[in-house]
């Protein structure tokens, strides 16, 4: 038992503390959303989520558990609490999901460690075999700045840079809350290689091989990694930049895996292209927080707003839930970014974006909601949480 009053410690796009009760409340709110979309009689579902503790992976796990009563194994890399030092948000999110699953008789097993390593793959394979037998679905939702290749020992470092040309664009300085022009120099070949080494498909391929070799993919199993494309506005820094190059590699890898899965277990591998949402990963990308602030305002006003849990409910309901046939684009991808990229939303973005300045950004965008959403990732500014009272820091996952 270790209790403390936990306060936010935020610098720019980083917060070094997390509130256990606030994180639990966020998870419970997501569970409620997923439960309203519950599917009875859909049959048992067994799901492995790689990157299961925050953002899209957490939402996928919650959707699987709360909509279908799925048994889940979650893999993530989080810091547990120690003494009076709080754990990371993903640790508390997982503890909250684990509690829900246990109370509702659902299998919930966790592996906390480096998903890129052989050791964690081995542990996961053992846990999937012992707790689930096989899996019907693998969700791959890792976001990380670096990866060490488990065979060569080489550590790849990702960079968020344009390719070929210097990028000059509008961004928000999250510490000073001013609109700036950001200049990002083009990546070196090393930077491109490093980013593809981290966020490309190499590790996805290794996971797929490990699961297939161990006979853990059930007949018809699906493997779904996540990608992002976004509007032309962010292409120089995202889709046409280093991270986009990595995503192309991930998408090509998914296609190659798809071929193998079809013949081995009559399964499928397909990328889901999701919409831009507030997560720890997206907060770190230049331009994107300002873009999301504007996007959220416009999508809310048009009744189109979706958080990760709404996207994941839609992913299951319309594409990958039991009995559903995924609707794919010409590149064999699921498109959950359809509402974001729809004509009316992007036309409004295009007309407002050039007019945004330090003086008017709060009026033109939903920046205050972005800021609150960012803090909520760490369990702060969540309604109903008694922040001035000590809270238990230890939790069971
Ligand atoms: P996130 O930062 O919220 O989650 C990342 C997850 O990866 C966490 O569970 C974390 O513990 C885990 N992780 C990181 N490094 C790990 C490691 N070495 N070993 C084990 N686990 C590790 O990120 P997110 O924004 O939800 O992104 C998840 C995926 O969704 C990414 O592929 C991202 O590109 C994609 N995506 C994100 C957005 C967006 O706007 N956030 C949009 C479309 C697609």
* Residue 304: φ, ψ to 5°: -110, 5
Place of tokens 């754990």: 87
CA of 357 to the centre of ligand 1 (A): 30
Helix, strand, or coil (residue 122): helix
Burial tier of 43 (Cβ tally within 10 Å: 0-12, 13-18, 19+): exposed
Question: pLDDT band at 174, cuts 50/70/90?
Answer: confident
Q: Quick one: what percent of the chain has pLDDT higher than 90?
A: 94
Distance between CA 256 and CA 139 in Å, rounded? 17
What does residue 290 show for φ and ψ, rounded to 5 degrees? -70, -40
For all residues of the chain together, what is the average pLDDT?
96
Consecutive H or E run containing 5: none
> Is the model's pLDDT at 95 over the cut of 90?
yes
Among candidate residues 92, 238, 296, 370, the one labeled active-site is: 238
Going by CA atoms, what residue is nearest to atom 24 of ligand 1? 55
Using most ligand atoms within 8 A of CB, pick from 15, 18, 55, 97 the residue to mutate for ligand 1. Answer: 55
Q: How far is the CA of 320 from the centre of ligand 1 (A)?
A: 20
Both structure tokens of 333: 């991808």
Which of 56, 117, 118, 295 has most ligand 1 atoms within 8 Å of its beta carbon, as the pocket-test mutant? 56
Spatial distance between the Cα atoms of 333 and 270, rounded to a whole number of angstroms: 6
CA dist list (Å): 350 to 240, 299, 345: 18, 14, 9
Which amino acids bring their CB within 6 angstroms of ligand 1? 51-57, 75-78, 90, 114-116, 141-144, 226-228, 274, 276-277, 279-282
Cross-strand pairs, 180: 171
pLDDT reported for residue 39: 79
156 forms beta bridges with 147
> Which pLDDT score, from 0 to 100, does residue 335 have?
98
pLDDT of res. 380: 98
Give the span between the Cα atoms of 372 and 281, in whole angstroms: 16
Neighbouring C-alpha atoms within 13 Å toward the C-beta of 394: 5
Q: Is residue 238 flagged as an active site residue?
A: yes
Question: How confident is the model over 85-114, as a mean pLDDT?
Answer: 98
Residue 358 CA to ligand 1 center (angstroms) comes to 30
Mutate to test the pocket of ligand 1, among 63, 117, 143, 312 (most ligand atoms within 8 A of CB): 143
The C-alpha angle with vertex 269 and arms to 263 and 274, in degrees rounded to 5, equals 170
- Say what percent of the chain tops pLDDT 70: 99
- Answer for the pair 63, 312: CB distance below 8 angstroms, yes or no: yes
Helix or strand (DSSP H, E) at 300: helix 288-301
Alpha carbon nearest to ligand 1 atom 28, residue: 141
343-377 tens-digit pLDDT: 999 999 999 999 999 999 999 999 999 999 999 99
Of 37-51, 264-278, 299-313, minimum mean pLDDT range: 37-51
pLDDT at position 386 over 80: yes
> Which residue owns the Cα nearest ligand 1 atom 12?
51
Distance 218 CA to ligand 1 centre (A): 25
Region 315-320: mean pLDDT is 96
Structure tokens at 190: 């090393």
| CA proximity to 396, closest of 122, 125, 108 | 108
User: Residue 214: left (phi > 0), alpha (psi -120 to 50), or beta?
Assistant: alpha
If pLDDT is split at 50, 70 and 90, which confidence band does 175 have? confident
Domains (range + CATH), the chain: 14-150+196-285+305-337+379-392 (3.40.50.720)
Task: For residue range 122-167, list pLDDT tens digits in order.
Answer: 999 999 999 999 999 999 999 999 999 999 999 999 999 999 999 9
* Ligand 1, atom nearest to 56 Cα: 26
CA–CA separation, 30 and 99 (whole Å):
14
**CA 126, 74, 83, 391 torsion: positive or negative?**
negative
Q: Tell me what pLDDT residue 363 has.
A: 97
Q: What is residue 1's predicted lDDT score, i.e. its pLDDT? A: 77
- Tell me, in angstroms, the distance from the centre of ligand 1 to residue 49's CA: 11
- Residue among 279, 292, 310, 311 whose CB has most ligand 1 atoms within 8 A, to mutate: 279
Atom of ligand 1 nearest to the CA of 59: 26
CB-based contacts of 118, cutoff 8 Å, min separation 6: 150
Q: What is the mean pLDDT of residues 106-127?
A: 98
| Mean pLDDT, rounded, for 110-119 | 98
pLDDT at 284: 86
* 27 contacts 62 by C-beta, under 8 angstroms: yes
Q: What are the tens digits of pLDDT across the range 9-66? A: 998 888 999 999 999 999 999 999 999 999 777 677 999 999 999 999 999 999 999 9
pLDDT at 13: 83
Element (H, E) at 10: strand 10-11
Query: How many whole angstroms from 266 Cα to the centroid of ligand 1?
Result: 28
| Average pLDDT rounded to a whole number, residues 101-105 | 97
| Average pLDDT estimate for 198-226 | 98
Q: Would you state the pLDDT for residue 281?
A: 87
Question: What percent of the residues of the chain are helix, what percent strand, and what percent coil, each to the nearest 5?
Answer: 45, 15, 40
Are 132 and 70 within 8 A, CB to CB? no
Ligand 1 centre and the CA of 56: distance in Å? 7
Average pLDDT over every residue of 79-96:
96
Closest ligand 1 atom to 276 CA: 40
- With b for 16 or more beta-carbon neighbours within 10 A and e for fewer, the 109-137 pattern comes to bbbbeebbeeebbeebbebbeeebebbbb
The Cβ-side half-sphere exposure at 396, using a 13 Å CA radius, reads 8
Residue nearest to atom 17 of ligand 1 (CA): 114
SS3 181: strand
Which ligand 1 atom minimizes the distance to the CA of 281? 2
């Amino acid at each position: 038992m270790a209790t403390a009053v936990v306060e936010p410690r935020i610098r720019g796009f980083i917060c070094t503390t997390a509130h256990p009760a606030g994180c639990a409340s966020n998870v419970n709110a997501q569970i409620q959303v997923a439960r309203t979309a519950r599917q009875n009689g859909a049959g048992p579902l067994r799901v492995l989520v790689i990157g299961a503790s925050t953002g899209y992976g957490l939402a996928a796990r919650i959707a699987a558990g709360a909509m279908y009563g799925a048994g889940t194994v979650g893999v993530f890399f989080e810091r547990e609490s120690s003494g009076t030092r709080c754990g990371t948000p993903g640790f508390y999110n997982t503890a909250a999901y684990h509690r829900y699953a246990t109370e509702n008789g659902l299998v919930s097993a966790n592996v906390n460690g480096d998903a890129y390593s052989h050791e964690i793959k081995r542990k996961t394979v053992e846990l999937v075999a012992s707790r689930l037998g096989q899996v019907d679905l693998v969700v791959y939702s890792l976001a990380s700045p670096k990866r060490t290749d488990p065979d060569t020992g080489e550590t790849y470092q990702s960079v968020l840079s344009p390719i070929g040309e210097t990028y000059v664009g509008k961004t928000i300085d999250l510490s000073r809350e001013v609109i700036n022009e950001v200049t990002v120099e083009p990546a070196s070949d090393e930077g491109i290689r490093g980013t593809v080494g981290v966020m490309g498909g190499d590790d996805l391929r290794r996971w797929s091989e490990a699961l297939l070799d161990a006979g853990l993919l059930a007949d018809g199993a699906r493997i779904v990694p996540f990608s992002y494309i976004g509007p032309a506005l962010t292409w120089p820094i995202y889709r046409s930049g280093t991270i986009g190059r990595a995503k192309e590699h991930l998408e090509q890898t998914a296609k190659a895996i798809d071929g193998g899965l079809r013949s081995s277990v009559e399964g499928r591998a397909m990328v889901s292209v999701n919409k831009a949402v507030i997560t720890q990963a997206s907060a770190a990308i230049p331009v994107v927080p300002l873009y999301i602030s504007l996007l959220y305002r416009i999508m809310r006003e048009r009744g189109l707003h979706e958080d990760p849990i709404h996207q994941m409910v839609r992913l299951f309901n319309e594409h990958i839930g039991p009995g559903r046939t995924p609707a794919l684009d010409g590149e064999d991808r699921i498109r959950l970014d359809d509402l974001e990229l729809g004509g009316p939303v992007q036309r409004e973005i295009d007309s407002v974006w050039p007019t945004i300045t330090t003086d008017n950004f709060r009026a033109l965008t939903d920046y205050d909601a972005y800021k609150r959403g960012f803090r909520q990732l760490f369990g702060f500014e969540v309604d109903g949480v008694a922040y001035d009272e000590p809270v238990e820091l230890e939790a069971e996952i």
